[in-house]
Chains A and B, each alone.
Chain A
Amino acid sequence: MSKFKRGTKKGVGAINTASLPDIVFMLLFFFMVTTVMKETTLKVNITLPGATQIKKLEKKSLVSFIYIGEPTRAYQSLYGTTPRIQLNDAFAKVDDIRDFISSERDAMDENDKALMTVSLKVDQNTKMGIVTDVKQALRKSNALKINYSTRKDDSFLK
């Protein structure tokens, strides 16, 4: 008359895994929806400068990107190592910015045109000369909202 049963080991029953696919599918859909595929392949090397007073860039559809930096190694034999501008998938000159902006603007909704933002992704070792030229070109094409792309870093203050 012992209180504890002995012998007859009751094995733990197999866990029901019928709902496992459902859970995995849920996760899968979450990641599928949040994923943004890379649209452009960078042809320039960019290390963004650090800053602390940063804001998030919202509404990706309103943002156009301008990349400035040294060409990557594959293109260095063709273009050298002086910093260059990349628009969409190709190298460009300062004069091409006007066309680029107007085509980006045409692709937008009428209501969104005023909210268009240009994000400048510039390598931290670039000289300001080319950046100033780009800014002047943006002013000429009336794209005045800009965003200097940076990453969060405060080491330069120490």
Chain B
Amino acid sequence: MAKRELQEINAGSMADIAFLLLIFFLVTTTMDTDTGIARKLPPMPEHQEKQENKVKERNVFIVLINKNDQLLVEGKPTKINQLREKTKEFIVNPLNKEDLPEKKTIDVPYFGQYQVTKGIISLQNDRGTSYKSYIQVQNELAAAINELRDNLAMQKFGKKYEDLPEDQADAIQKIYPMAISEAEPKNVGG
């Protein structure tokens, strides 16, 4: 008796099975990557003593948000869409105004002697402020600094800030630091 040949397995349904699995993974896959605003918290002070930083009033850009989500910028009520321009004006101080921050001259690679602002942004919020408007304010402050960085990067290197190599990006960071300070939370109620 002749040996029976092994019959070939019918692979016709292979495609169907693979399709089924494919569709399952297609449906369950979520391609969205997490995005967000990155921030660095200041370390907790070692001693609970109050250290009074002597910063001149003209060098501080005070942004307050109250519990009704209203903005008070440098003592004036402001709308969220004006914040970006105001911040930029504060940081650049193009006309060297008396009430806008001082500048100090430091040595920056690629730029040489450069006048850098001494200004810092101080952000304070109430416990009743909504997270949404807090993020909007954070976003506008970051946007102001990012726009300034982009402009400078375009001028000097002809590229966007994001596309710069590390050492050039560092130079620009020295000129426009992300100097946002958040006040220690106070329990004032409300």
| Residue positions of A touching B, CB distance < 8 A | 17, 20-21, 24-25, 27-28, 31-32, 34-37, 49-57, 60, 63, 117, 119-120, 122-129, 131-132, 135-136, 138-140, 142, 144-152, 156-158
Contact = CB atoms under 8 A, between A and B. Distances in A.
Contacts of A17: 15
B66 to A, nearest CB: 11
Given A136-B185, A145-B38, A157-B81, A126 B131 contact: yes
Interface of B: 11, 14-15, 18-19, 21-22, 25-26, 28-31, 33-44, 80-81, 125-132, 134-136, 138-139, 142-143, 146, 185
A139 to B, nearest CB: 5
B138 A148 contact: yes
Nearest to B185: A132
B136 A28 contact: no
B35 A124 contact: no
Contact of B11 (A21, A32, A125): A21
Contact of A53 (B19, B80, B130, B139): B139
B131 A123 contact: yes
Given A35-B29, A49-B132, A150-B36, 17 more contacts: A21-B18, A25-B18, A27-B22, A28-B18, A28-B22, A51-B36, A57-B34, A60-B34, A119-B36, A128-B125, A128-B126, A132-B185, A148-B39, A148-B138, A149-B34, A149-B36, A157-B80
B94 to A, nearest CB: 23
A51 B135 CA distance: 7
Nearest to B33: A56
Contact of A151 (B35, B43, B127, B136): B35
B184 to A, nearest CB: 9
A146 B41 contact: yes
A42 B14 CA distance: 37
A153 to B, nearest CB: 10
Nearest to A147: B36
A145 B40 contact: yes
Nearest to B136: A156
Given A20-B15, A35-B28, A119-B34, A146 B39 contact: yes
Contacts of B21: 28
